[in-house]
Structure 1
């Protein structure tokens, strides 16, 4: 999988989408350290150990380098940044039954806005799966020759 580059100036306005989701009692925020195990365990259950480990790394910063979507006590999605490498966005994911509602878009934009506030002009989206989503949402572009990435020598669990 390749990496993508996104310009952080002029990110899309998500206020209307966030307001619409708020009407469904879905809120977006950064979790705090007492919630670490809940977020980590949810990500582990939904997406696996690798992403759960990256969530744990995101909790090593204050404020936490992660956003969550929640409804009541239920986590609906998450997005991390600078969890594995400086200036990298990801991992991110939304509960499978809620995809297509815009939750992932809000989590992405909130994370990229936070990175912009940290002083970055561009961000790298690492090891992209849904290329078209990032192209359409934030005009991200593929980075040539990025198939060989920070993940290339990742220890793989045995089947």
Structure 2
């Protein structure tokens, strides 16, 4: 394994497959505010979009995952930092961040950010409740430059859409569920259907959302006369809802609310009791549609790399 840096008595090294398996368990133990999702986050970040430059670095009891932005190669991202509770107080966090910065420099990055690298990310930034991580970032010279937030939707609410589906059908609109991520390999026709939705998302919004739609655990869409009007996805970022969007010509029909509730009902069926609506823009829409509340706040940090 390649030695990256050394501090105290433990080396930071590039992770191999065995290290990543251990790192997943470290993340599960460390990320106590993420409902046991730590392992899934490591696994997702280790399967990023094609062409992304990324690395995972480990020190016994700790892991950092970093990547370079495809949009701006001068920007590097610290995507995930986790230290097992039993290994804290030994300088692991500082050593791991230093090693990640060293790797980012070697890849040409001139700035490092504790901020999500769409479309494959763990969080928008540092959850303010992970106070030790925010303190570490500030101690290392990172400046806070932006705030993002999630909304939480309780899944015990009424998520029925039967009457809405009848109303939409009368307007010539039909609503469908694409194949789940588990079914895609076995169902080529429905896999092609998902690609059609991803193409719509790419054309109307951007490649990042298209990747999330293609890699979501669940994907629902509406169409009229063979033309897709809107979509909603969940699980591209493990256990979170989003993204979703409605074409301008369909706004006012209530398509977005129906797609949202269908996704949330699917998340409930998957065993979740609440849903995180990630990196939210339109607070009012989600509040009115499903009673979601703004709750999880993230600070985004950055530091120029000398």
Q: TM-score, normalised by structure 2?
A: 0.45
Which structure has the higher relative contact order (CA within 8 Å, separation 6+)? Answer: 1
Q: Residues 9-158 of structure 1: matches in 2 within 5 Å?
A: 9-31=156-178, 32-58=190-216, 61=217, 65-83=218-236, 85-148=237-300
Return the alpha-carbon distance in structure 1 between the equivalents of residues 283 and 299 of structure 2.
13
User: Structure 1 residues 30, 12: closer, same or farther in 2, change over 3 A?
Assistant: closer
For the pair 1:6 / 2:164, whether they are aligned, the reply is no
Superposition RMSD in Å:
1.7
Gap regions ≥5 residues in structure 1: 154-159
Return the alpha-carbon distance in structure 2 between the equivalents of residues 88 and 145 of structure 1.
15
Return the alpha-carbon distance in structure 2 between the equivalents of residues 144 and 25 of structure 1.
38
User: Structure 1 residues 30, 144: closer, same or farther in 2, change over 3 A?
Assistant: closer
Provide Cα deviations, 1:34-76, integer angstroms capped at 9, x if missing partner.
Answer: 2233111110010111101101112xx5xxx100101131101
**Which of the two has higher C-alpha Rg?**
2
**How many pairs were matched up?**
144
Return the alpha-carbon distance in structure 1 between the equivalents of residues 192 and 199 of structure 2.
13
Return the alpha-carbon distance in structure 1 between the equivalents of residues 264 and 299 of structure 2.
22
Contact 2:157–2:290 (Cα < 8 Å) also in 1: no
Q: TM-score, normalised by structure 1?
A: 0.84
Return the alpha-carbon distance in structure 1 between the equivalents of residues 234 and 291 of structure 2.
18
Contact 1:3–1:147 (Cα < 8 Å) also in 2: no
Gap regions ≥5 residues in structure 2: 1-147, 179-189
User: Which residue does the alignment assign to 1:157?
Assistant: none
SS of the residue aligned with 2:230? strand
Contact 1:69–1:103 (Cα < 8 Å) also in 2: yes
Residue 147 of structure 1 deviates from its aligned partner by 4.8
Return the alpha-carbon distance in structure 2 between the equivalents of residues 2 and 75 of structure 1.
29
